[in-house]
Chain A
Amino acid sequence: MNLEDEIRSALRPKEPSPEFTERVLARVYGMPVRPAPRPWVRWVAALAACILLASGAMGYRQYRGERAKAQVLLAFRIAGGKLNKAQKKVQMLNAARRNNS
């Protein structure tokens, strides 16, 4: 490698790390430097959020299902009751006709 290449390599612009700005500002204002969160903390937070969302969705599905079940039973109770009433009246009328004839 010649001198020109070595100089070019040494002077190549580099992107600062994400914490660089924070560190510089902390020095300027005399604030303590906050350590960067460890990568696994983010994964755990993401996983916890996923579990929370999934359990929420399951709970809502359970609620909707139980409510729908109760509505089905109520609907059958009402429909059955009205049919029963009509059936009984028809039977009473038939019985009355038989007695008359």
Chain B
Amino acid sequence: MKAVAFPLLLILFAGLAAGQQVKWNYDKLAARATDSVDVNLDGSLLRLAAKFLSSGDPDQAKVRKMVEGLKGIYVKTFEFKNPGDYTPADVEGFRAQLHTSDWQRIVGVHSKEEGEDVDVYIKPDAKGIGGLAIIAAEPKELTLVNIVGPIDLDSLSELGGHFSIPELEIEKKKK
């Protein structure tokens, strides 16, 4: 009985771990985009990347510390030739997958003037934040970010300005 139960548990946990990644379907957009950036890093690749981040360099050491706790980083950026090459329905389709009890939208910025929308979602867990998702839509660019695993926004904030990462100002709550 135990011999059967153990592999079943492993399959169940593997399924749960895979379930933390947002399964966005990009096929329709990829066909319309002129350029795209694709970052697909699962746990094993992140562990490998962490070994190549220098611990002697303080900035890279911070990145290394953040990466070591993560289970996956998935980033997709599509660039389009003309505004309107992707529709609001496309974006809504991506948002809909985050409209579950697991995800919580913490920031939603919609600028009609500039035609820019940025939605930031977090996946709360017992220890804090268990995942991060960002949907950023600009007239000729659409970016989807999914970070799986515990992410410390303060650490991300500290990394602002390094490695060409713009400074991220997150207000710290006074204790």
Residues of A within 8 A of B (CB): 61, 64-66, 68-69, 71-91
Q: Please give, as numbers and ranges, the residues of chain A lying within 8 Å of B164 by CB-CB distance.
A: 77
Q: Please give, as numbers and ranges, the residues of chain B lying within 8 Å of A72 by CB-CB distance.
A: 41, 46, 49, 53, 63, 67, 73
- Identify the 9 closest CB pairs spanning chains A and B, nearest first: A68-B49, A80-B165, A65-B52, A86-B118, A84-B166, A69-B52, A89-B109, A82-B136, A75-B39
Q: Is A69 touching B53 in the complex (CB atoms < 8 A)?
A: yes
- Whether A75 touches B168, Cβ cut-off 8 Å, given contacts A68-B45, A80-B160, is no
Q: A72-B41, A80-B166 are in contact. List 19 more A-B contacts (CB 8 A).
A: A61-B48, A65-B48, A65-B51, A68-B41, A68-B49, A72-B46, A72-B49, A72-B73, A75-B39, A75-B75, A75-B145, A76-B163, A79-B134, A80-B165, A81-B165, A83-B120, A86-B109, A87-B107, A89-B109
Q: Is B77 touching A78 in the complex (CB atoms < 8 A)?
A: yes
Q: Is B165 touching A76 in the complex (CB atoms < 8 A)?
A: yes
Give the interface SS of chain A, mostly helix, strand, loop or mixed.
helix
Q: Identify the closest chain A residue to B160 (Cβ).
A: A80
Whether B156 is near chain A, meaning CB under 8 Å from some CB there, is yes
Tell me how far the C-beta of A49 lies from the nearest C-beta in chain B, rounded to whole angstroms.
Answer: 26
- Whether A83 touches B168, Cβ cut-off 8 Å, given contacts A72-B63, A90-B107, is yes
How far, in whole Å, are A27 and B48 apart by their CA atoms in the complex?
A: 60
Q: Please give, as numbers and ranges, the residues of chain B lying within 8 Å of A61 by CB-CB distance.
A: 48
Count of A-B contacts judged by CB separation below 8 Å:
105
Q: Please give, as numbers and ranges, the residues of chain B lying within 8 Å of A86 by CB-CB distance.
A: 107, 109, 118, 120, 134, 136
- Whether A71 touches B49, Cβ cut-off 8 Å, given contacts A79-B147, A82-B118, is yes
- For B48, give its contact among A64, A76, A88, A91 (CB under 8 Å): A64
- For B37, give its contact among A65, A69, A74, A76 (CB under 8 Å): A74
- For A66, give its contact among B40, B52, B118 (CB under 8 Å): B52
How far, in whole Å, are A89 and B170 apart by their CA atoms in the complex?
A: 12
Tell me how far the C-beta of A19 lies from the nearest C-beta in chain B, rounded to whole angstroms.
Answer: 49
- Whether A85 touches B45, Cβ cut-off 8 Å, given contacts A76-B163, A78-B143, A80-B160, is no
Q: Is B118 touching A85 in the complex (CB atoms < 8 A)?
A: yes
Q: Identify the closest chain B residue to A64 (Cβ).
A: B48
Q: Please give, as numbers and ranges, the residues of chain B lying within 8 Å of A91 by CB-CB distance.
A: 169
| Contact sample, A vs B, 8 pairs, CB 8 Å cutoff | A72-B41, A74-B39, A77-B164, A82-B136, A83-B168, A86-B118, A87-B168, A87-B169
Q: Is B73 touching A75 in the complex (CB atoms < 8 A)?
A: yes
Within 8 A of A (CB), among B33-63: 37, 39-41, 45-46, 48-49, 51-53, 63
